[in-house]
């Protein structure tokens, strides 16, 4: 990571290429430095496809949603927090979705957050965040997995803290589900409602919090967060729509992301919110027509519009001798009649 003035260099590795972003700190006196290293690794012989579930079905390691969600957190967090995406926790490797480190040398400024505004005040200075997108959602034992990430992080040589009580574990999910409630019982924790979509889990040494993104979006009137829920069609904030639409444009040049679970869902939700014309405006004519039959490409055009711009030879190409004969007779009749 390199910094010059208020400039923060963010490095994001997306195998087999590296993309480097430059982000500008938005606060007058920034307290947060941001760096992000996200590597799509080949694990257990499956690139991007994930491992087998108990039912024998492959589960994705990451979905499309993880990338814009991390981008949103990095750009709209309060000053003094550092966000590391795909924090590697073991050589296997396993990685938490985000490592949040508060680097404030003075008083924390959590009230200046522009995303999940009710979360930061409850965090210790070090936190691991695990995000579950709206496509796959939370699965059984995912909360146990997050707890195990805490133990792995504390066992690392470069860990900046010593005690479990100094570490926060955050689970961000699109909504509350029966699976989430079962996870509370499995992990022997008691949910304590903090209001506004935030839940504290009591019963572990860690500070544990659950973020219910749909409730947070409603309580904080945040359409940016709503992008990561099932209510994407309700997005009205033009800035949120622009940001999400910008992600679609970016993904068009990043083939790995286009293959991830959730990409099609996000595009469909944005089309419903923005309108097809706005979304398609970012695609060239060839991309718009890709996959359509010739009849579908011409649907809705008048005969004159279909032939506009073609040379006479091109207009006649493909006609059978019989059709040409009828066309010549029609032309002769029209010329003689005139």
Q: For 181-224, how does the pLDDT look when each residue is reduced to its tens digit (9 = 90+)?
A: 999 999 999 999 999 999 999 999 999 999 999 999 999 999 99
Pair 47, 255: CB distance under 8 Å: no
Query: Looking up tokens 């919110």, which residue turns up?
Result: 273
Report the chain's mean pLDDT, rounded to a whole number.
Answer: 75
Q: Which residue has the higher pLDDT, 254 or 187?
A: 187
pLDDT tier at 257 (50, 70, 90 boundaries)? low
User: In the predicted model, is pLDDT for residue 170 greater than 50?
Assistant: yes
Q: For 127-164, how does the pLDDT look when each residue is reduced to its tens digit (9 = 90+)?
A: 999 999 888 789 999 999 999 999 999 998 888 899 99
Q: Identify the pLDDT of residue 322.
A: 85
Residue (of 55, 85, 64, 33) closest to 254 by Cα position: 64
Q: Which two tokens stand for residue 177?
A: 């589900």
Q: For 286-330, how does the pLDDT look when each residue is reduced to its tens digit (9 = 90+)?
A: 666 666 666 666 666 676 766 676 777 776 777 788 877 887 888
pLDDT tier at 54 (50, 70, 90 boundaries)? very low
Q: For 265-297, how does the pLDDT look when each residue is reduced to its tens digit (9 = 90+)?
A: 766 666 666 566 666 665 666 666 666 666 666
Q: For 10-28, how does the pLDDT look when each residue is reduced to its tens digit (9 = 90+)?
A: 333 332 222 222 233 333 3
Strands 167-173 and 126-131: parallel
Q: What is the mean pLDDT of residues 77-82?
A: 92
Q: What is the mean pLDDT of residues 167-193?
A: 97
Residue 137 CA to residue 292 CA, distance in Å, equals 33
Counting beta carbons within 10 angstroms of the beta carbon of residue 125, is it exposed (0 to 12), middle (13 to 18) or buried (19 or more)? middle
Q: What is the mean pLDDT of residues 235-252?
A: 81
Q: Identify the pLDDT of residue 313.
A: 74
Q: For 80-135, how does the pLDDT look when each residue is reduced to its tens digit (9 = 90+)?
A: 999 998 887 766 678 889 999 998 777 899 999 999 999 999 999 999 999 998 88
């Amino acid at each position: 990571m390199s910094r010059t003035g208020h400039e923060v260099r963010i490095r994001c590795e997306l195998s087999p290429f590296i993309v480097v972003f430059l982000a500008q700190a938005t606060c007058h006196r920034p307290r947060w430095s941001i760096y992000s290293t996200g590597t799509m690794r080949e694990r257990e012989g499956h690139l991007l496809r994930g491992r087998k579930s108990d039912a024998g079905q492959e589960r994705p390691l990451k979905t499309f949603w993880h990338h814009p969600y991390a981008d949103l957190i990095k750009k709209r967090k309060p000053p003094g927090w550092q966000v590391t995406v795909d924090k590697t926790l073991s050589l296997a490797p396993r990685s938490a979705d985000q490592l949040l480190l508060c680097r404030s040398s003075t008083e924390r400024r959590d009230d200046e957050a522009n995303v999940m505004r009710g979360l930061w005040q409850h965090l210790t200075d070090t936190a691991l965040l695990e995000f579950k997108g709206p496509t796959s959602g939370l699965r059984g034992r995912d909360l146990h997995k997050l707890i195990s990430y805490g133990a792995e992080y504390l066992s690392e040589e470069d860990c900046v803290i010593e005690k479990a009580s100094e570490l926060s574990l955050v689970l961000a999910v699109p909504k509350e589900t029966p699976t989430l409630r079962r996870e509370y019982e499995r992990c022997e924790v008691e949910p304590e409602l903090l209001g506004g979509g935030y839940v504290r889990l009591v019963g572990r040494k860690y500070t544990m919090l659950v973020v219910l993104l749909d409730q947070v979006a409603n309580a904080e009137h945040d359409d940016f967060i709503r992008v990561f829920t099932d209510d994407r069609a309700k997005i009205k904030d033009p800035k949120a729509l622009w940001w999400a639409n910008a992600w679609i444009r970016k993904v068009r040049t990043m083939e790995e992301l286009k293959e991830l679970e959730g990409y099609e869902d996000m595009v469909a939700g944005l089309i419903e919110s923005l309108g097809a014309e706005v979304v398609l405006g970012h695609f060239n004519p060839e991309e718009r027509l890709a996959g359509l039959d010739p009849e579908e490409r011409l649907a809705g055009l008048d005969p004159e519009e279909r032939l506009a711009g073609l040379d006479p030879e091109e207009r006649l190409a493909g006609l059978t001798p019989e059709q040409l004969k009828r066309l010549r007779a029609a032309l002769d009749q029209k010329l003689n009649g005139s």
